[in-house]
Amino acid sequence: MSETPQKNSITHEELISDIEGFNSLAKILLERTGIYMDSSDKNFSLMSNRMHRVLRKHDCSSYKDFIKLIESGVADIMNEFLEVLTTNTTHFFRENEHFTFLKKTLSIIEKDLEKEKRNEIRVWCAAASTGEEPYTILMTILEYLGNYPKLSIKMHATDLNTQVLEKAKLGIYRPEISENITPDLLLKYFDKDLKTQNYQVKEKFRSMIEFSKFNLRNETYSFPYKFDVIFCRNVMIYFTQNVVEETILKLSGCLSKKGYLFIGHSEAMIGDKHKLKSVIPAVYQHMT
Instruction: Please list the active-site residues.
Output: 50, 159
Contact in structure between 125 and 137 (CB atoms under 8 Å): yes
Please count the other Cβ atoms lying within 10 Å of the Cβ belonging to residue 236: 26
β-bridge pairing 255-263 and 276-280: unpaired
Instruction: Please report the beta strands in the chain, taking only residues with DSSP state E, as ranges in sequence order.
Output: 120-125, 152-159, 172-173, 190-192, 199-201, 209-213, 227-232, 255-263, 276-280, 283-286
Closest CA to 286 of 225, 234, 220, 230: 230
Residues 6+ apart with CB under 8 A from 105: 260
Biggest CA-to-CA distance, the chain:
81
Closest CA to 27 of 36, 14, 18, 17: 36
**Helix 19-33 / helix 77-85 crossing angle, nearest 10 deg:** 90
Residues 6+ apart with CB under 8 A from 99: 93, 136, 137, 140
What are the backbone dihedrals phi and psi of residue 44, each rounded to the nearest 5 degrees, phi first? -60, -45
What is the per-residue burial (b if ≥16 Cβ within 10 Å, else e) of 170-194? ebbbeeebbeebeeebeeebbeeee
